[in-house]
Structure formats: structure tokens, C-alpha cells
Structure 1
């Protein structure tokens, strides 16, 4: 079995043995493991290449944010510095000092920065890749780590070309960069990126490439930590969340076996609060994320709030808030009432209650997921309109 399939495999074996408690324990173990899996991404390159701006952009924050990596025209990163994702602290971007600087000579660079802890390296250059970049790539390759070349500040390069030429052929310009990289023996695809607007150029392709080459559990953590750079990214996040819905519904069904009035409903709603809060954070619909988006995009926070429909966004998700929302839907209200009513029917009551609990949680999470994904798409469309208009 692959890493991402172990949850299915383990809990299925428990169910085959008719051991409900073991199945629930295995599912909880699987969910906890996925939530806490560490992902360490190193961002390196020569001094002044735009490493810190890239670290900020990929975390979805402005350079002036209090959690931002320091940026500047001179070397601002003097030591290996970690920058956890604001919503997914297990996903950490490491801003490494510039290779070839006095304190970090190329020959000793990897050892000095502690290369072994990183899952992969992103090597950034502002204008063209140089000898130190190639040396670093070969050493990373020798140590059997993944690395990716990124040309940053493409928007600045294009502006300089406009200043020199009245007309610029973008396809020819980008092709010339790729050809140059082949000429100097860059060993793989080079991604052209603007930290000012990640929806442009090769950043979506970079994200897709990184995602595909990560192990399953780390792949999910990476996707959820990425900013909403496209409608496709929002759909990928929704798909990742949807894949776990059945597990949470089984956990809910396990509690449905408890023959105590109100316990199942209380636990169901508490479980829903935790899961829905993760949805809100993953889609970047919490207050801090929306305010960071407003600062980063230039769209006022109030305007982002205007396009949002769900009552679960930009508020603290509580059991009371969730129940008020869910009982507005008659089918869910009936399920909730039936779950409590059937619990004390002799012999068949508990199995029926467990089934109703599963169905209630499964339908509730899918319905809420649809609502939040729809709002995330609306926010993206409003921001995209501002950046392209």
C-alpha cells in the first residue's frame, strides 16, 4: 500500500474483525498523522535574488506583514531562518542565506545550512543562473535531494525590456530565457515567477510539479498551504478535504453507539467545528487570511467580504453557529432528530443511530464544503479582477 492508502487499509482490517473501537482508533491515528506531517522547503540562491519576497508570496502574505521575511536590496538573510505557514505551521519555508556570501561560501554551503532536514530546495536567481547555482544544484543532486530552478523578478525583467524596446514579443523573450538555461547546462526545467502576482507565468506549473513529486501525505499538506492562485487550486483543496469526509463520518458513527441522551449530537457538532475550521483556514477564508489577501492584492477587506455568502466565514466557528446553519436544511434537521429518537429502540436502536450519525456528518460536511469552496472561488474572482483589470 502507498502511504496515502494506509488509512483505508488499517481501518478496513479492523472492520473485517467487527472491531468498531479499533477502526475508530485507526482512523483517528491516520487523520492525526496527516494533520501533523512536517514539510520543510528550502529557498536558496545568491544574495539579492528575491528569496525572501518569494517566501512571503508563497505563504500568501505581504512583504510588510509582521510575519514576513525581511526583504531588501542587500543581503538581509544572515542565518537559516524558518517561516511557518500562517495557517499550517507544519509547512515551513526556510529562507537560507545567499550562497557564495562571505559567511556562507559555496564549498561548505549545504553542510552549514543543514541540508538533511529539507524535503526539497528551490534555487532562485533574479537575472541569470551563475556558477554557484549550478554547483549547488549538482551537490544537492549528489545527495539525492530534489531541487527546482526559479527565475524570480520576471516582471522587473520585462519592464526593463519595455524601457529598451517599444515592443516586446513575450513568447520570444521567455523562449530566449529557456534557451540560455539549456545553453549553460541547467539540468531541468526553469520556472519563471513573479512574486508580485503568483497567478502569472510559471508559478502554477511549479506548484503542480512540486505536488506531483511529493509523498502522498506531504502532497496534501503542500496543496492546502498554497495560496489560491487559480480556480483549479481551489478545486484541488476541495478534493483533498472531500477525501477525508468519510473518515470523519465513521468517527461520528462510532460515537453514535453511546446510549446516552445528547452525547452523540454534542460530539458530532464538536467534531464538525474542528473540521469546518480547517476548511475555512485551508480556503483562506478566516479573518487574518482575508486581511492578508486584501493587503497583498490591493482589494479592500470590506469588498472581499461583500462577495462572501456563508455565515461561517470571518467568524469563530462554534457548535451553536453550526447547528443554526444546519437545521435550516430540513433533511439534516430530520436526521439529527431521528438519531436521538432511535437510540433507545431495543436491539436495533444503536445500529440505526450509528447509521444516522454517519449520514448526518457526511452530508453536513459535504454541504459546508460546497459552500466554502464556492465562496473561495468568489473571493479569487474578485481579487483576480483587480490584478488583471
Structure 2
């Protein structure tokens, strides 16, 4: 006889109020990491900002997934029905990083989707002082936008799972 394990709901925020608290904590984390990204963008060495952004984003995405109970390991602890719901909700919300193992290639693809801002940032860094400020501002904006989108996708998935959560 195969023993059926019960889903570990304690990892996922249990109410709309808890989801909102986690969302705000994560948005604060996004802003702090975006400042770090902006600092790397201000350094006038081509490529250093992209390497920095990939590392910072990787940690950020994993931290956000963990806060919402949506890392691959946490989702794996749910029973198959709820795992499927989590992944369907993530796809439906456009959350391509929700519940996924974050790879360098996936992050570079995501950053390339912000192409115009990245290209502008690269060109701007060659204009002394003002260009570095523009590059830093664009770096902050792009990083924050990607982070906020991921926070919103995770919150939406958590909200969907909360709606079907057994009481």
C-alpha cells in the first residue's frame, strides 16, 4: 500500500492578508537589489552590469519564490493535483520563473526581453558622468520592473492556491 502524503500548505501564505504582507516584503527586497544593480550599472566597464544583474536576479527570484512557498522543492511537496494547479496558475499569470529552477540562460533571455533599455544603458555608459547616471537609472528601472512582475506573478499563483486550499 502506497502512503499518500498530505500537501504542506504551511509554506504557502494562507490568506489574502498574508499574501499582501509577503508581497510587500518581496517588493522591498526588489528595491534593495535594484539599488545594487544600479550601482553595478554605474561602473563604466562593459559587461560587468550584465554579470551582476544575472547573479542578483538569480538570488532575487529564488528568494521571492521561497517567500511565497513556490520554489520547485516546495511545490514538489504538494500533492499532484495542487502541483498541477500551481504550474497552470503560473503559466496563466505569465510567471515564467514561478516554481522553476532559475538558470543563467533563462535570466539572460529575460534581460534580453528588456532589450531597448539594456542597449540604451550600454551606450549611455560611454558618456562621462551623465551617461553613468543614466545607465544606473535604467539599470534600477529594468531590475525593479522584472522583480515586481515576478512578485505579482507569485502573489497571483499563491492567491489561486489559497482559493482551493482545504480549510
TM-score by length of 2: 0.81
The match for 1:354 among 125, 136, 160 is 136
Q: Is the 8 A contact 2:11 2:74 kept in 1?
A: no
Q: Distance in 2 between matches of 1:254 and 1:300?
A: 41
The match for 1:311 among 93, 96, 109 is 96
Does residue 363 (structure 1) correspond to residue 150 (structure 2)? The answer is no
**CA radius of gyration, larger in:** 1
Deviations 1:11-32 (A, max 9, x none): xxxxxxxxxxxxxxxxxxxxxx
Alpha-carbon distance, 1:293 to partner: 2.7
Does residue 261 (structure 1) correspond to residue 46 (structure 2)? The answer is yes
The match for 1:375 among 147, 151, 157 is 157
1:345 maps to 127
Alpha-carbon distance, 1:238 to partner: 0.5
Q: Distance in 2 between matches of 1:197 and 1:260?
A: 46
- Greater helix percent: which structure? 2
1:231 maps to 16
Alignment length, in residue pairs? 161
Deviations 1:282-336 (A, max 9, x none): 11112221122327xxx353343233212213321123212323444xxx32211
Q: Is the 8 A contact 1:285 1:314 kept in 2?
A: yes
Does residue 247 (structure 1) correspond to residue 32 (structure 2)? The answer is yes
The 5-angstrom pairing of residues 151-166 of structure 1 reads none
1:120 maps to none
Q: Distance in 2 between matches of 1:303 and 1:353?
A: 40
- Greater strand percent: which structure? 1
Structure 1 gaps of 5+ residues are 1-62, 66-195, 199-224
Structure 2 gaps of 5+ residues are none
Q: How large is the Cα RMSD of the aligned pairs?
A: 2.7
TM-score by length of 1: 0.38
Does residue 292 (structure 1) correspond to residue 73 (structure 2)? The answer is no
Does residue 302 (structure 1) correspond to residue 84 (structure 2)? The answer is yes
Alpha-carbon distance, 1:255 to partner: 0.9
1:282 maps to 67
Q: Measured at CA, do residues 300 and 363 of structure 1 come closer, stay the same or move farther in structure 2, by a change above 3 Å?
A: closer
Deviations 1:141-199 (A, max 9, x none): xxxxxxxxxxxxxxxxxxxxxxxxxxxxxxxxxxxxxxxxxxxxxxxxxxxxxxx998x
